[in-house]
Amino acid sequence: MHNNKYQGFTVSRYTLLASAILAASIPTAQAVELDTGNPDWTARIDNTIKYNYGVRTESADKRMLGTPNNNDGDYNFRKSGTNITNRVDLLTEMDVVYKNAMGFRVSAASWYDKAYANTGSNSNPFVNGNDSRSGLVANDPRLAGVTNDNVGFGSPHLSNYAQRYYSGPSGEILDAFVFYSTEVGEESLFSAKAGQHNVFWGETILNPVHSISYGQSGLDLAKLAASPGTEAKELFVPR
């Protein structure tokens, strides 16, 4: 005899995960070649803009709201039709090269997600909520009348980390380095870089974790989840 007590919960959870996001991603890129007036110098600026919009297609299940270690996101965006992402990303890259042998590169990323405005989980009634209330979760009387329609809304507060990396407006410097290369003898090449940079081998079609470069450096998986369509070069954390 099989215990089916939690089968409904399992199905509901996977259904929620499968249908939680309906997103539209609109990337656009613009490249500008700067006229240096000297054929030995080349300068290029690239700007890539991404826009992602998503809504929740199913209200949060009460049983998922009752999961104390994973419920802050559900408390922030409970209702079906709630806007869960309304994010604009800008990636700016500048390369200056002299005689194809030396130069510098600077790149920076910036972002803003309006969906996080006036959003927070201070009203989370569990022990790990931001107001740190005590009590046994399983016996908390405050959950007795909770339904998908009357769970209430949190206070307009996010942690500094969430404000910095999810909401914004914010940004960060990615690459900032100088480089030099020269031929040594007839068949050898010496090259060097100094500054903040990363080395990864190639791109990948679906996800940076599917490429060989996955093991070469740390990945910004938070940005990958928050901004679908982000290229690998923006996700690998420079050293």
| Residue 26 confidence class, pLDDT cut points 50, 70, 90 | low
Whether the pTM exceeds 0.85: the reply is no
The Cβ of residue 163 has, within 10 Å, a number of other Cβ atoms equal to 14
Give the model confidence (pLDDT) of 84-131 as tens digits: 899 999 999 999 999 999 999 999 999 999 998 877 655 555 544 444
Residue 236 DSSP symbol: B
Q: What is the pLDDT of residue 210?
A: 63
| Residue 211 confidence class, pLDDT cut points 50, 70, 90 | low
Q: What is the pLDDT of residue 74?
A: 79
| Residue 176 confidence class, pLDDT cut points 50, 70, 90 | very high
| Residue 72 confidence class, pLDDT cut points 50, 70, 90 | confident
**Which one-letter amino acid corresponds to residue 65?**
L
| Residue 12 confidence class, pLDDT cut points 50, 70, 90 | very low
| Residue 55 confidence class, pLDDT cut points 50, 70, 90 | very high
Between 170 and 204, residue with greater pLDDT:
170
Q: What is the pLDDT of residue 131?
A: 44
Closest CA to 191 of 175, 204, 177: 177
- Give the residue ranges of DSSP H helices in the chain: 7-19, 62-65, 72-76, 160-162, 221-226, 232-235
